[in-house]
Amino acid sequence: MSLKKVVISSATGILFLYAMLIASTFYFFDTKELHKAFTDERVLHAIWISVIAACVATIMAVLLAVPSAYALSRYSFKLKSTVDVFLELPMIVSPAALGAILLIFFSTPLGLLIRDNVLDVVYTFSGIVLAQFITVLGICTRLMKAVFDEIPVRYENIARTLGASPRQAFFKISLPLAKKGLLSAIILTWAKAVGEFGATITVAGSMAMKTETLPTAIFMKLSMADIKGTVMIILILFGISMSLLIFTRYLLRNKQYD
Amino acid sequence: MIELRNITIRAGQFLLENVCLKAEAGKFHVLLGPSGSGKTLLLETIAGLIMPTSGEIYLSEKLIHKIPSENRNISYLPQDNALFPNKNVFENIAFGLKLKKQFSNATIEEKVNDMASKLNVSHLLSRSVINLSGGEQQRVALARALVVNTPILLLDEPTSSLHESMQEDFCLLLKKLQKEYKLTVLMTTHHKDSAFLVADSLHFVDKGTIRLSANIQTIYQSLLPKNIAHLLGVSNFFTLSTANQNNQFYCEELKTTFAFTQKTIENTTFSIGVKPENIRVIKEEDIHNKYPNRFVAEVEEMLFKENDTLVLLKVPETSFRLKMQLTTYNQKKLNISVGKLLHCKIKEEYISFVY
């Protein structure tokens, strides 16, 4: 078999693998159950909590990731390679371990001080946001660094010779050029935050109508052997994520710098 | 005046070392050198985009090498033009003016329109820069650099991406604009013809240093390093040694004696170079006349260019080979063909001294 056929088979194999798994959920599809899921106050609350927490976590991550990614892309500084390694921490450490680390931190004197005087994150909505934020921060920064890496530094250099300060060159040239890529990174970060489970359940638990998100609701339904209920929530979560991915593709369909 | 004093720049493995340059204000200066010689690095350092490791840069006797790029008042046109791809032609040209915050929108529009008209890009103002041709992109980038009205313009290989037929026109446009705006221009190129079209003075960059600076009119009379002479189109090199006391020197390669009447030479052995077009054929009826600096060579091969013929000559006694270029019209008129023995001469004023 030619190399071309082998690699194309490999790529289409991935599609079939995921498609088969998704299709298998439809084996238990039931319109009545779907209607029930959309009218169930607990499920609606989980959707609401998931969406809001993911939005807050994404905003926090973006605020830190944009300047950090730009620094990693453009400048040489001490600890740069260490920062680069730590961006992968949420990818190499399991989410449950990350959640446990957060719980341990909030059990130290400093953590307790924060819980008593600033914000209590254990078994609260803030805990969900924090768990999602910690999980997505690294990937968000990594995605945004790749976006800035793609933009040639010569545009900023030319802007400088035309009278722009480094700040003006960033805001008037680099940021507008990065707009599409950054938006795509934001959407993927948000999708990752919505689907976060391990760290969230460890830090915030799964209290119905309080800290239950869509992924934790799936876990709870499954633990009660409610397969049809589980499938409906999976499909809701899948629908939200796929809509976002399609929207991202749509945004990036045109020329690079539109 | 732009003055570089002992500038050293390290960029990865590449080192520009102890570069000294004086570029007189209001003149067109060309940095000529092969690719990878450090010309672009030098321009970027003057523009403030790269910090030198050591040395000083003066602009009108003011030390500027620690001044940030945006405050140097130097425009820079990079090799690839670097037009902002998310802005249209008008926005690209207006970019520097908008930053100044001293002009109203109407003034900016007027200035952009004036400059666009000068560079013949008025019809492109609302177009995206992505769809422009190479020549159009170049003129838009030049308009963007000129409209901010800086006294110094740095041009990095501006003709390299242009079709041969457009290079000459663009050089003439550059020269015209330089005179009109009384600009001090520093242009890099590895293209000798472009350099000679525009330059008031030439600065040869080679292996990370400026090897020679010379006025365009006197360049061939300067003592030239061999590789620079080669860059200038000198491709025939000979060694001369003292023949007698009368300023005459013997050339072993050509088996002839050279006489110098315009210059007193103190060296006993030295090298000279001659461009192929400066070797002339002595007509058959004049063979018996006494010409200085003459030699005999056989036509070994002929290569035809558009209107010229490159003749490869071989000196029969030494098998030394040299190149001669003449118009195809003259080649036919003189009935030059392969195998023919030619009497050639080299005028003293066309001889370059090399080392």
pTM comes to 0.81
Chain B hits for A255, Cβ within 8 Å: 130
Token digits of residue B275: 């461009």
Chain B hits for A173, Cβ within 8 Å: 84
The answer to whether residues B259 and B117 belong to one domain is no
Query: In the 8-state DSSP scheme, what is residue A108?
Result: S
Instruction: Give the integer Cα–Cα distance in Å for B133 and B119.
Output: 14
B11 beta partners: B14
Chain A hits for B130, Cβ within 8 Å: 255, 257
Axis crossing angle, helix A41-74 with helix A227-251, rounded to the nearest 10 = 40
Say if B82 is an interface residue toward chain A (CB within 8 Å): yes
Question: What confidence tens digit (pLDDT) does each residue in B267-319 have?
Answer: 888 999 999 999 999 988 888 877 788 999 999 999 998 889 999 999 998 88
Q: Where residue A256 falls among pLDDT bands split at 50, 70, 90?
A: low
Helix (H) or strand (E) holding B310: strand B308-314
Q: Residue B26 is part of which domain span?
A: 2-222
B264 pLDDT higher than 80: no
User: Which value does ipTM take for this structure?
Assistant: 0.81
Say if B68 is an interface residue toward chain A (CB within 8 Å): yes
Percent of all residues in chain B with a pLDDT value above 90, rounded to a whole number: 63
Residue positions counted in chain B: 355
The answer to whether residues B298 and B179 belong to one domain is no
Residue A241: which residues within 8 A CB-CB, separation 6 or more? A191, A194, A195
The answer to whether residues B43 and B91 belong to one domain is yes
B164 pLDDT higher than 70: yes
Q: What is the pLDDT of residue B286?
A: 83
The answer to whether residues B189 and B257 belong to one domain is no
Q: Which of B202, B222, B242 is the last residue of a domain?
A: B222
Taking CB atoms and an 8 Å limit, are B82 and A160 in contact across chains?
no
Q: What is the pLDDT of residue B182?
A: 93
The answer to whether residues B43 and B190 belong to one domain is yes
CA angle B58, B59, B63 (to 5 degrees): 40
Total structural domains within chain B = 2
Say if B148 is an interface residue toward chain A (CB within 8 Å): yes
Q: How far is CA B334 from CA B281, B283, B341, in A?
A: 8, 7, 12
Q: What is the pLDDT of residue A254?
A: 63
Q: Where residue A61 falls among pLDDT bands split at 50, 70, 90?
A: very high
The answer to whether residues B174 and B275 belong to one domain is no
Q: What is the pLDDT of residue B234?
A: 92
Q: What is the pLDDT of residue B309?
A: 94
Burial class (CB in 10 A: 0-12, 13-18, 19+), B101: exposed
Q: Which of B180, B203, B222 is the last residue of a domain?
A: B222
Token digits of residue B58: 């003066």
Helix ranges, chain A (H): 3-25, 31-39, 41-74, 80-86, 89-92, 95-105, 109-117, 125-150, 153-161, 166-169, 175-194, 198-204, 214-223, 227-251
Q: What is the DSSP string of B169-236?
A: HHHHHHHHHHHHTT-EEEEEES-HHHHHHH-SEEEEEETTEEEEEEETTTGGGS-B-HHHHHHTT--E
Residue B332: which residues within 8 A CB-CB, separation 6 or more? none
Question: What confidence tens digit (pLDDT) does each residue in A74-101 have?
Answer: 999 999 999 999 998 888 889 999 999 9
Identify whether the C-beta of residue B158 lies closer than 8 Å to the C-beta of residue B178: no
The answer to whether residues B272 and B346 belong to one domain is yes
Question: What confidence tens digit (pLDDT) does each residue in B120-143 have?
Answer: 999 999 999 998 988 899 999 999
Q: What is the CATH number of the domain that holds B267?
A: 2.40.50.100
The answer to whether residues B198 and B237 belong to one domain is no
Provide the sign of the torsion angle of the four alpha carbons B193, B199, B204, B209, taken in this order: negative
The answer to whether residues B159 and B241 belong to one domain is no
Q: Which of B205, B222, B239 is the last residue of a domain?
A: B222
Q: What is the pLDDT of residue B245?
A: 67
Compare CB distances from B82 to A154, A164, A257 and report the shortest one's residue.
A154
Mean pLDDT of B139-165: 91
Token digits of residue A176: 């507008």
* Average pLDDT score over chain A: 91
The answer to whether residues B48 and B96 belong to one domain is yes
Compare CB distances from B84 to A160, A165, A173 and report the shortest one's residue.
A173
Chain pair A-B, CB pairs under 8 angstroms: 64
Q: Where residue A17 falls among pLDDT bands split at 50, 70, 90?
A: very high
Taking CB atoms and an 8 Å limit, are A154 and B78 in contact across chains?
yes
User: What are the φ/ψ torsions at residue A240 (nearest 5 degrees)?
Assistant: -60, -50
Taking CB atoms and an 8 Å limit, are B78 and A158 in contact across chains?
yes
Say if B95 is an interface residue toward chain A (CB within 8 Å): yes
First to last CA, chain B: 30
Q: What is the pLDDT of residue B28?
A: 95
The answer to whether residues B243 and B99 belong to one domain is no
Identify whether the C-beta of residue B293 lies closer than 8 Å to the C-beta of residue B341: no
B246 pLDDT higher than 80: no
Identify whether the C-beta of residue B354 lies closer than 8 Å to the C-beta of residue B224: yes
Instruction: Give the integer Cα–Cα distance in Å for A124 and A119.
Output: 10
Token digits of residue B107: 């003034």
